[in-house]
């Protein structure tokens, strides 16, 4: 069994350092902002000065997880769909409009996808396995699958999470490339998986591409886990309409739109199971239509 030891999110909800985010969840308004802590309290100035929002969020959430668990992580698995967008755009502007060949390197260095995982390992002085997965809307799911593999290989404290950030440029892609009416938001959610029993376990996570019949995929996922629709106490979904479950929420109402939002759904599901008399939570990530991520949390 793979248990969830702790959860930490920085999001457009007041989620940071909350014992449970379940009670205070509210539907986001159209102009919501990231509710972030004073990062100066978590990251030394020398490092902080270079860090874009996504890096600040991810590092702080990861550090909260380290504080809660204390033991050194023996694996770190991070998901991000678009990586460090702010620095990517900054470096594009730098080199395209450069007057000379002498270019400022900081934005380039900060722009690679694995800067998130790399900065986490630096901040924690961690020498373990450190992986960055990027598979669009399923980036968190793949990071989670890897983390679960690490647990099955005997790792005892695996940090897993995902983060993505919004930049103004994304508005240019709305409708044509990114089909959503929602506000583009940012978020980072991190968890620690391990073998010591806690209230919540991750039972299964699977991804499929080219899914033609989403409800059929959901049915076979449930039956693989010996469950019926009626066994599911809460479905957290995105990109799919459902009427066959007793209690369902569209998690994007609470996270806004970014491709790591299923990680936030994981946090919601986790806290729901901790605080309510319930047994099973199903997360259905169909944010990008036929690319489907299914995750099952159990008490």
Partner 1 sequence: MNELKENLKAQIIEQLNLEDLTTADIQDDANLFSDDGLGLDSIDALEFIVLLESEYGIKIADPSEGRDIFQSVNSLAAYIEKNR
Partner 2 sequence: MIEIFVTGYGAISSIGNNVEEMLQSLLDEKSGIQKGKLPHSEKQLVGEIHFTNEELIKKFGLKTTGSRTGILGAIAAKEAFANHSINAEIRTGVISGTSVGGMDTSEIEYRNLLEEKPHNVANYQFHSSGNSSEQIAEELGIDGFINTISTACSSAANSIMMGARMIRQGMVDRVVVGGTDGLAGFTINGFRSLMIFDEEWCRPFDESRKGLNLGEGAGFLVLESAKSIEKSESTILARLRGWSNASDAYHQTASSPNGQGATLSMTEALSVAGMKPEEIDYINAHGTATPNNDLSESQAIINVFGSKIPPFSSTKAYTGHTLAASGGIEAVIAILAIQKGYLFPNLNHRNVIEETKLQPITTIQKVNKIRVVLSNSFGFGGNNSTIILSE
Binding site for partner 1 (CB under 8 A): 45-46, 49-50, 100, 102-106, 109
Residue 184: DSSP 8-state: B
User: For the chain, how far is it from start to end, CA to CA, in angstroms?
Assistant: 11
Tell me which of partner 1, partner 2, none is bound by residue 126, counting a contact when its beta carbon lies within the kind-specific cut-off of 5 to 8 angstroms: partner 2
Tell me which of partner 2, partner 1, none is bound by residue 45, counting a contact when its beta carbon lies within the kind-specific cut-off of 5 to 8 angstroms: partner 1
Q: Which is nearer to partner 1, 105 or 224 (CB)?
A: 105
Tell me which of partner 2, partner 1, none is bound by residue 46, counting a contact when its beta carbon lies within the kind-specific cut-off of 5 to 8 angstroms: partner 1
Contact 147, 161 (CB under 8 A): no
Q: Which is nearer to partner 1, 81 or 107 (CB)?
A: 107
Tell me which of partner 2, partner 1, none is bound by residue 207, counting a contact when its beta carbon lies within the kind-specific cut-off of 5 to 8 angstroms: partner 2
Q: Which is nearer to partner 1, 100 or 210 (CB)?
A: 100
Tell the smallest beta-carbon distance from residue 85 to partner 1 (Å): 18
Distance (Å, rounded) from C-alpha 67 to C-alpha 260?
23
Number of residues assigned to the chain = 299
Structure-token pair, residue 190: 């991190």
Q: For residue 81, state whether it binds partner 2 (rule: CB under 8 A).
A: yes
Task: Give the number of other Cβ atoms within 10 Å of residue 138's Cβ.
Answer: 26
Tell the smallest beta-carbon distance from residue 47 to partner 2 (Å): 10
Contact 209, 142 (CB under 8 A): no
Site size for partner 2, by CB under 8 A?
56
The interface with partner 2 within residues 231-270 (CB under 8 A) comprises none
SS3 295: strand
Task: Give the number of other Cβ atoms within 10 Å of residue 175's Cβ.
Answer: 10
Distance (Å, rounded) from C-alpha 179 to C-alpha 187?
19
Q: Strands 201-208 and 291-298, how do they pair?
A: antiparallel
Q: Of 152, 133, 153, 154, nearest to 142 (Cα)?
A: 133
- Residue 70 gets the label, from left (phi > 0), alpha (psi -120 to 50) or beta, of left
- Bridge partners, residue 297, by sequence: 202, 281
* Binding-site string for partner 2 from residue 25 to residue 44, where x marks contact by CB under 8 A and - marks none: --------------------
Q: Of 196, 230, 221, nearest to 295 (Cα)?
A: 221
Near partner 2 by CB under 8 A, which window of 77-85, 182-190, 215-223, 233-241? 77-85
The interface with partner 2 within residues 158-217 (CB under 8 A) comprises 172-173, 176-177, 207, 209-210
Tell me which of partner 1, partner 2, none is bound by residue 289, counting a contact when its beta carbon lies within the kind-specific cut-off of 5 to 8 angstroms: none
Q: For residue 96, state whether it binds partner 2 (rule: CB under 8 A).
A: yes
Instruction: Give the footprint of partner 2 on this chain (CB under 8 A).
Output: 76, 81-83, 91-98, 101-105, 108-109, 111-115, 117-119, 121-122, 124-136, 138-139, 142, 146, 149, 152-153, 172-173, 176-177, 207, 209-210
């Amino acid at each position: 069994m793979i248990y969830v030891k702790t959860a930490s999110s920085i999001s457009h909800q007041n989620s940071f350092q909350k014992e449970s985010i379940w009670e205070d969840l509210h539907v986001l308004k159209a102009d919501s902002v990231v509710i972030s802590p004073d990062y100066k309290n978590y990251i030394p100035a020398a490092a902080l000065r270079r860090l874009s929002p996504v890096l600040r969020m991810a590092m702080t959430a990861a550090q909260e997880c380290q504080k809660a668990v204390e033991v050194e992580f023996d694996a770190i698995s991070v998901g991000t769909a678009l990586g460090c967008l702010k620095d990517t755009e900054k470096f594009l502007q730098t080199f395209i409009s450069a007057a000379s060949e002498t270019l400022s390197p900081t934005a380039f260095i900060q722009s690679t996808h694995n800067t998130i995982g790399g900065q986490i390992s630096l901040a924690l002085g961690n020498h373990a396995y450190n992986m960055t997965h990027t598979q669009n809307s399923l980036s968190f799911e793949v990071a989670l699958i890897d983390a679960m593999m690490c647990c099955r290989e005997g790792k005892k404290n695996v940090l897993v999470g995902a983060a993505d950030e919004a930049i103004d440029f994304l508005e240019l892609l709305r409708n044509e490339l990114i089909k959503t009416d929602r506000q583009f938001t940012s978020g980072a959610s991190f968890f620690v998986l391990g073998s010591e029993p806690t209230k919540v376990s991750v039972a299964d996570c699977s991804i499929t591409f080219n899914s033609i019949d989403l409800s059929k995929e959901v049915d076979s996922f449930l039956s693989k886990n010996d469950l019926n629709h009626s066994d599911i106490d809460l479905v957290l979904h995105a990109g799919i309409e459902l009427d066959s479950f007793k209690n369902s929420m569209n998690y994007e109402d609470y996270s806004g739109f970014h491709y790591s939002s299923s990680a936030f759904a994981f946090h919601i599901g986790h806290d729901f199971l901790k605080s309510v008399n319930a047994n099973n939570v199903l997360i259905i990530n169909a944010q990008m239509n036929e690319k489907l991520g299914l995750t099952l949390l159990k008490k």
